[in-house]
Structure 1
Amino acid sequence: MSVPELPAAVLWDMDGTLVDTEPYWFAAETELVGRFGGTWTHEQAISLVGSGLRDGARVLQDQGVRMTVDEIVGWQTDFVTERLVAPLPWRPGALALLSSLREADVPTALVTMSIRRMAEAVAAAVPFGGFDVVVAGDDVERPKPDPQAYLRAAELLGVDVTACVAIEDSPPGLAAAVASGAATIGVPHQAGLPEGDRWRLWPTLVGRGLEDLCAVADELAGSRG
């Protein structure tokens, strides 16, 4: 029986994939719009899932928030970070899968549109030192769905992105990962994800291991070939 080839690296989205921060972002958006006399619906919040914070800030400005983009991003990040207290709300199965990757010496990167100080705080909270590289929203010029963040993560790790597996939960993140060339797994959470030939959907990370990642990578590599 042949041993499956390990991914060159596994690239993880953060919000909604590794840790369940989306309810905090929703609350931040609702409170901020409310402070300026507006209303913010759940549907509007869902529409921003996975987007760059600066893009989201411009949407909030359109809803009447009279603050600069940088002020909005900073305020939201403070709001969410203050609520990320131990134990963090890890997504089901995420830490177990991440731990199996560390045990197998598979390189990992955290690839998020949250700003670096928040991303580093979450990465530091992983009890076994989960990530070799962190690429945050303020490290790139073009947010997801552009693939720049994933391409940067692969570059920092010194690997071919097409030999990597990416894990995402949002439509912009899924699009970014697929466009980068990584074998992509979507794990829907707050926002629905479409079926497609160029990625695979898992309902949860619970029970998933390294062999499952290898199988997806092999399958998608075959479909690309």
Structure 2
Amino acid sequence: MTTSETDIIVPAAVLWDMDGTLVDTEPYWMQAETDLVESFGGVWTHDDCMMLVGSGLWASATILQDHGVDMEADAIVDWLTARVQLQLSERGVPWRPGAKELLADLKAAGVPTALVTMSMLTMAQQVADLIGFPAFDTIVSGDMVTHSKPHPEAYLAAAATLGVDPEHCIAIEDSVPGVAAGVASGAITVAVPHQIPLPESAQYSLWPTLHGRTVADLATLYSDRHGAHERAKAANSHRVKTTTESAPL
């Protein structure tokens, strides 16, 4: 953690989801899923697409198999990833509003960052390379972990690689599984809903967009949340100590 000229403490690192948070690739995934299911004579609806938003690729592969895709799970993951990567190459990267700008601001401020995605490493690296500057200090992808989101493994792995405590990190997410993973890791979590609305919750901060957001906004959030957490821990410690001291012999 470092302090700025205004003595606002910044987080130890900022951990970014990719699909739906950094880039609006969900329509690419939906098109790939639809093409694959229809190639086997099945039907894949918009509601089916929405069901997979934020899910791990191998979990999605199982659902696609249930809809008639007669392929091994690994083959499904490879097929979908290749199709989405092709769309990225042909149609470009649809950046989410404010995401690249906030990444650049974090880079200028020297705040470590990680890309934490359930997509394959090849695709995550493709997106990272297209940002135009070395935005991420590390990448944790879906093929690098055993458990997909909402399990916190990917976020815990990213924090460990950066050598920071996840409780001193901010995770930025857009989906229900992603937000749950961020919260479960202990990171202060920012939910920026995209395809699926997210409710207000004391467990995370709900931001309608990243447009116009800066390092100062993240620093304020971190200071407020971490300060409240430390005060709660101190109060609890005081209660335990008082209870112990006043207990009868």
Opposite residue 118 of structure 2, the aligned amino acid is M
What secondary structure sits across from 2:114 in the alignment?
Answer: strand
User: Normalising to structure 2: TM-score of the pair?
Assistant: 0.88
- For residue 215 of structure 1, what is the aligned residue in structure 2? 220
Moved over 6 A (4+): none
Q: 1:21 aligns with which of 21, 25, 42?
A: 25
Task: Give the drift of 1:219.
Answer: 2.5
Structure 1 equivalent of residue 135 of structure 2:
130
1:67-216 pair list within 5 angstroms: 67-85=71-89, 87-216=92-221
- Secondary structure of the structure 1 residue equivalent to 2:102: helix
Q: Secondary structure at the match of 1:45?
A: helix
Greater shift in the superposed pair: 211-220 or 149-158: 211-220
| Cα 1:31–1:87 shift into 2, 3 Å | closer
- Partner of 1:46: helix, strand, or coil? helix
The 1-side partners of 2:38 and 2:224 are apart by 47
Measure the CA separation in 2 of the matches of 1:208 and 1:87: 24
* 1:5 correspondence with 2:24: no
Give the letter for the 2:134 counterpart: G
In structure 2, what is the Cα distance between the partners aligned to 1:194 and 1:103?
A: 32
Residues 9, 222 of structure 2: 8 Å contact kept: no
**Alignment length, in residue pairs?**
225
Identical positions, percent: 56
Distance in 1, matches of 2:57 and 2:224, equals: 33
User: 1:61 is matched with which residue?
Assistant: 65
What is the identity, as a one-letter code, of the residue corresponding to 2:174?
A: D
Deviation of the 1:208 alpha carbon: 0.3
Question: TM-score by structure 1 length?
Answer: 0.97
Which of 1 and 2 has greater Rg?
Answer: 2
Q: Which amino acid aligns with 2:98?
A: G
SS in 2 for 1:25: helix
Name the SS for the 2:15 alignment partner: strand
Determine the structure 2 residue equivalent to 1:34. 38
Contact 1:199 1:220 in 2 (8 A): no
Letter in 2 for 1:32: L
CA distance in 2: counterparts of 1:206 and 1:132, whole angstroms: 23
Q: Over aligned residues, Cα RMSD in angstroms?
A: 1.2
Amino acid of the structure 2 residue aligned with 1:189: H
Q: Offset of 1:37 from its aligned partner? A: 1.2
Moved more, 164-173 or 83-92: 83-92
**Gapped regions of structure 2 (runs ≥ 5):** 233-249
